[in-house]
């Protein structure tokens, strides 16, 4: 068991970075409440209080019900990670349908809000905890054919830094650029060249210890996982 086990909330945990983080947190002995729209096929180590839930972060009532269950079982999270996200088809903005644009906005911005709205009050009552909202290099720069994704990640940067100004002393909100990792999302943009970047499992071995050491001193700081390729 770790010296200071944390109760961790993690969204988008069925694949990619979310799945890799989930596995690494469990390996280190932390308790994780993980969710994803797809079922998470994972065996929880014996004696660990972690649990996985099939959940759409776009459904505020379902998110609130999940949060109530998590807090009842694990207490207020010490670390809340908003990882769930979608990316648009790689096409110019005017070629996206309104439905495609809205789906990216709904998950990447509204979903983050729903999770914060559901969990922040318990964290504030306890007076501690770190909220990490996954941003991107494309939340601090832009590229063609990913306009809606860029828009959401720029929004996450602003939302998180404003939240940081609202939180009480002892807490933190951090917009985090994970770096460039070989995921399905990256392959939708980079194609086969995504294979030249680190795999999620390798990334998580570096990123998870970094996430676990974040604290009040990091409140409002736009951070990037160290030792990783960046946009």
Burial of 28 (0-12, 13-18, 19+ CB in 10 A): middle
Least confident of 128-132, 160-164, 226-230: 226-230
Q: Is 210 a catalytic residue?
A: no
Q: Is 93 left (phi over 0), alpha (psi -120 to 50) or beta?
A: alpha
pLDDT tens digits, one per residue of 19-76: 999 999 999 999 999 999 999 999 999 999 999 999 999 999 999 999 999 999 999 9
* Tokens representing residue 138 in the block: 């494309």
* Tokens representing residue 143 in the block: 């590229």
Give the whole-angstrom CA distance, residue 220 versus residue 22.
Answer: 24
More confident residue, 227 or 16: 16
More confident residue, 195 or 124: 124
Rounded to 5 degrees, what angle do the CA atoms 33, 200, 37 make? 40
CA nearest neighbour of 48 among 30, 33, 61: 30
The helix or strand, by DSSP H or E, that contains position 115, with its residue range, turns out to be helix 111-126
Q: What pTM did the predictor assign?
A: 0.94
Q: CB-based contacts of 73: which residues, under 8 Å, 6+ apart?
A: 33, 49, 51
Choosing from 25, 66, 138, 149, which is the catalytic residue?
149
Give 8's strand partners: 32, 79
């Amino acid at each position: 068991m770790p010296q200071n086990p944390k109760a961790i909330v993690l969204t988008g945990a069925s694949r990619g970075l979310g799945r890799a983080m989930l596995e690494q947190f469990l390996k280190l002995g932390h308790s994780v409440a993980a969710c994803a729209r797809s079922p998470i096929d994972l065996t929880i180590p014996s004696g660990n209080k972690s649990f996985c839930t099939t959940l759409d972060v776009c459904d505020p009532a379902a998110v609130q019900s999940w949060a109530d269950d998590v807090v009842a079982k694990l207490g207020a999270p010490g670390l809340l990670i908003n990882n769930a996200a979608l990316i648009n088809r790689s096409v110019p903005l005017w070629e996206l349908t309104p439905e495609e644009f809205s789906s990216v906005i709904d998950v990447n911005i509204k979903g983050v809000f729903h999770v914060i709205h559901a969990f922040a009050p318990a964290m504030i009552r306890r007076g501690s905890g770190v909220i990490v909202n996954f941003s991107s290099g494309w939340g601090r720069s832009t590229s063609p054919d990913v306009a809606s994704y860029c828009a959401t990640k720029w929004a996450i940067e602003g939302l998180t830094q404003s939240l940081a100004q609202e939180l009480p002393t002892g807490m933190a909100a951090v917009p985090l650029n994970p770096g460039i990792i070989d995921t399905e999302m990256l392959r939708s943009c980079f194609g086969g060249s995504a294979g030249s970047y680190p795999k999620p499992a390798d990334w998580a071995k570096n990123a998870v210890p970094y996430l676990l050491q974040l604290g009040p001193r990091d409140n409002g700081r736009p951070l990037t996982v160290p030792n990783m390729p960046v946009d």
